[in-house]
């Protein structure tokens, strides 16, 4: 009995201790690490508490009626077909509740789709079965595939363990590195079939459709590593194209970006000289 009480007491604590990664016995959705995800979480909690209130009142009234007006006490059902007062009340109250829920939900939804005033743009392209990230205007491109160790384990038929491989099928070779406290616009497309770019901690997912450019934005508040996966069935390796977003403080991000540019520079210089060479000759 005592362990049941302890378990019940521990559940709300576990639910409060949210992190970007899902936790065991997590009950609620994650508040995430962006304003969009916090908005979604707040809208969800508002609706949840409205539902709790409705349930308490409705089931309370039912329980009371069942108990207080039982047949053994000689209760006789009232006979009436219309009651204007009751009909007005049970129409007006739900309408008010719907407006209370719809108003913040709509403002949050509008904010979620407002990509104006973003400081940088990352183009995300889905491929069977990897992601490509282009930092537009920076000449930096990253191809992000599932890490080779996960691939080796899955092909070998070995049984991975949580202790030895905590991020089995969830790690990538090249992470998407972004700065915190920066409004980042994402333009999202695909090269072959429909994929969907989804990182739960960011609070949104967006379809990556060939021939169409969808957009979204995010502003990450806390440095950290946030994981996601392709969320649109896209072929036999759909389950093997994870996403890893590493959010760095702005100075560290700038350092990383310069290092990536330096890595890309010799290649670009070679390409330029190769183009220039025939012209010179
Ligand atoms: Cu996919």
3-class DSSP string for 195-238:
EEEEEHHHCEEEEECECCCEEEEECECCCEEEEEEECCCCCCCH
Query: Quick one: average pLDDT of 229-251?
Result: 95
Taking the centre of ligand 1 as the mean of its atom positions, its distance from the CA of residue 224, in whole angstroms, is 24
Predicted pLDDT at 218 = 95
Taking the centre of ligand 1 as the mean of its atom positions, its distance from the CA of residue 228, in whole angstroms, is 12
Taking the centre of ligand 1 as the mean of its atom positions, its distance from the CA of residue 31, in whole angstroms, is 25
Taking the centre of ligand 1 as the mean of its atom positions, its distance from the CA of residue 131, in whole angstroms, is 8
Taking the centre of ligand 1 as the mean of its atom positions, its distance from the CA of residue 126, in whole angstroms, is 6
Whether the pLDDT of residue 223 is over 70: the answer is yes
Predicted pLDDT at 24 = 83
pLDDT tens digits along 92-130: 999 999 999 999 999 999 999 999 999 999 999 999 999
Taking the centre of ligand 1 as the mean of its atom positions, its distance from the CA of residue 128, in whole angstroms, is 6
pLDDT tens digits along 131-146: 999 999 999 999 999 9
Whether the pLDDT of residue 277 is over 80: the answer is no
Taking the centre of ligand 1 as the mean of its atom positions, its distance from the CA of residue 229, in whole angstroms, is 8
Taking the centre of ligand 1 as the mean of its atom positions, its distance from the CA of residue 232, in whole angstroms, is 6
Taking the centre of ligand 1 as the mean of its atom positions, its distance from the CA of residue 146, in whole angstroms, is 12
Predicted pLDDT at 269 = 63
**What domains sit in the chain, N to C, each tagged with a CATH number?**
31-112 (1.10.287), 120-270 (2.60.40.420)
Predicted pLDDT at 279 = 47
pLDDT tens digits along 2-40: 554 444 444 444 333 334 677 888 888 888 999 999 999
Taking the centre of ligand 1 as the mean of its atom positions, its distance from the CA of residue 233, in whole angstroms, is 6
Predicted pLDDT at 20 = 67
Taking the centre of ligand 1 as the mean of its atom positions, its distance from the CA of residue 140, in whole angstroms, is 22
Taking the centre of ligand 1 as the mean of its atom positions, its distance from the CA of residue 213, in whole angstroms, is 16
What's the pLDDT band for 278 if we cut at 50, 70, 90?
Answer: low
Higher pLDDT, 2 or 62: 62
Scanning the chain, the segments in alpha helix (DSSP H) are 2-16, 35-68, 84-112, 148-156, 250-280
Taking the centre of ligand 1 as the mean of its atom positions, its distance from the CA of residue 199, in whole angstroms, is 13
Whether the pLDDT of residue 90 is over 80: the answer is yes
Taking the centre of ligand 1 as the mean of its atom positions, its distance from the CA of residue 208, in whole angstroms, is 8
> Cβ distance 260 to 248 under 8 Å?
no
pLDDT tens digits along 152-163: 998 998 898 888
Predicted pLDDT at 14 = 38
**Crossing angle of helices 84-112/35-68, nearest 10°?**
160
Taking the centre of ligand 1 as the mean of its atom positions, its distance from the CA of residue 40, in whole angstroms, is 24
Predicted pLDDT at 270 = 66
User: In Å, how far from its chain's centre is CA 165?
Assistant: 23
């Amino acid at each position: 009995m005592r362990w049941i009480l302890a378990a019940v007491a521990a559940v709300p604590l576990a639910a409060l201790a949210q992190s970007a990664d899902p936790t065991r016995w997590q009950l609620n959705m994650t508040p995430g690490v962006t304003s969009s995800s916090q908005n979604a979480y707040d809208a969800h909690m508002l609706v949840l508490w409205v539902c709790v209130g409705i349930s308490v009142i409705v089931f309370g009234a039912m329980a009371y009626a069942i108990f207080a007006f039982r047949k053994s006490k000689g209760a006789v059902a009232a006979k009436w077909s219309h009651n204007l007062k009751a009909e007005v009340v049970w129409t007006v109250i739900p309408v008010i509740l719907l407006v209370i829920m719809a108003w913040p939900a709509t403002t949050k939804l509008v904010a979620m789709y407002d990509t104006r005033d973003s400081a940088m743009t990352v183009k995300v392209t889905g491929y069977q079965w990897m992601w490509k990230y282009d930092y537009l205007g920076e000449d930096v491109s990253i191809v992000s595939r599932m890490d080779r160790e996960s691939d080796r384990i899955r092909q070998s038929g070995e049984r991975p363990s949580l202790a030895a491989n905590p991020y089995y099928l969830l790690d990538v070779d090249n992470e998407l590195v972004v700065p915190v406290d920066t409004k980042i616009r994402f333009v999202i497309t695909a090269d072959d079939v429909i994929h969907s770019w989804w990182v739960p901690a960011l609070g949104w997912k967006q379809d990556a459709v060939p021939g169409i450019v969808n957009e979204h934005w995010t502003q990450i508040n806390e440095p950290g590593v946030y994981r996601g996966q392709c969320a649109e069935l896209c072929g036999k390796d759909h389950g093997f194209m994870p996403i890893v977003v590493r959010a760095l403080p702005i100075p560290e991000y700038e350092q990383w970006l310069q290092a990536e540019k330096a890595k890309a520079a010799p290649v670009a210089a070679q390409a330029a000289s190769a183009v220039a060479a025939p012209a010179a000759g």
